[in-house]
Amino acid sequence: MAASPLPTRLTPEEYLAIEREAEFKSEYYDGQMFAMSGGSLQHSVLPARLTIALGIALRGRGCEITNSELRVRVTPGGPFFYPDISIYCGEPQLADDYRDVLLNPLVVIEVLSKSTEAHDRGFKFDAYRKIESLQEYVLVSQKEPHIEVYLRQPQGKWLLSHYVGMDAVCVFSSLDCYVSLSDIYEGIALGD
């Protein structure tokens, strides 16, 4: 989803107060709100398919899958993002009594689009790496059956694994589960 900055510099508290009353979602970083645009059909279907497949794989394991309605906070000063999918295990750590800002995602998944791919690979990945609980950052292509998984390693390094093609099986090591790409991509018209 493409983002456009809104003109005023805000504190995280001001952002949250505005965002909680807003009709449309905005992400927050560097003191600014960035309005989010709508996504494509693929951008909507792919997270739903992943949620179903991961939900089946994680049933009864104490993990919860959240959609892009729940904000994730990187640090107390921001940024705040709306990942396509966030997964936490055990008790959620939430920023306050509003219960709408997750602090402890184990896995964050973003569906790539032409307008957000560079941002998701660069700025967002750099920000997400600051979340201590985060073990995997996952990028899902909507051009082809292709999922990239960045897995946190000791000493802060990240290991990249590519899963490509309808016969591939994507491994989520931090969740000890896997998902077939055919379960995610079958029947979806791909492309930007």
pLDDT tens digits for range 37-73: 777 778 889 999 999 999 999 999 999 999 999 999 9
Rounded to whole angstroms, how far apart are CA atoms 43 and 122?
A: 19
pLDDT tens for residues 83-123? 999 999 999 999 999 999 999 999 999 999 888 899 999 99
Query: At residue 17, does pLDDT exceed 60?
Result: yes
For the chain, the domain total comes to 1
Q: Residue 59 domain-assigned?
A: yes
Report the C-alpha gap between 17 and 15 in whole angstroms.
6
Please check whether residue 102 lies inside any domain of the structure. Answer: yes
Checking if the pLDDT of 9 tops 90, the result is no
| Pairing mode, strands 71-73 and 80-81 | antiparallel
> Over the stretch 120-175, which tens digit does the pLDDT of each residue have?
999 999 999 999 999 999 999 999 999 999 999 998 899 999 999 999 999 999 99
Structure tokens at 34: 């960035």
Structural contact between residues 174 and 151, judged by C-beta atoms closer than 8 angstroms: yes
CB 67 within 8 A of CB 82: no
Query: Taking the model in full, what pTM does it have?
Result: 0.91
156 falls within a domain = yes
Q: Which two tokens mark 117?
A: 């791919």
pLDDT at 191: 73
What is the CATH number for 86?
Answer: 3.90.1570.10
Residue 127 belongs to domain spanning: 39-185
Distance from chain centroid for Cα 70: 10
